[in-house]
Amino acid sequence: MRAFERDLEIRVVRLWERVKAGQYQAPPVRRVDIPKLGDTSEMSPLGIPTVEDRLLQRAVARILSAIYEQDFVE
Range of the domain at 35: 2-72
Identify the pLDDT of residue 29.
95
Number of structural domains (the chain) is 1
| pLDDT tens readout for residues 12-25 | 999 999 999 999 99
- The span from the CA of 15 to the CA of 11, in Å, is 6
| pLDDT tens readout for residues 43-59 | 999 999 998 999 999 99
| pLDDT tens readout for residues 22-38 | 999 999 999 999 988 87
Identify the pLDDT of residue 60.
93
Contact (Cβ atoms closer than 8 angstroms) between residue 50 and residue 13: no
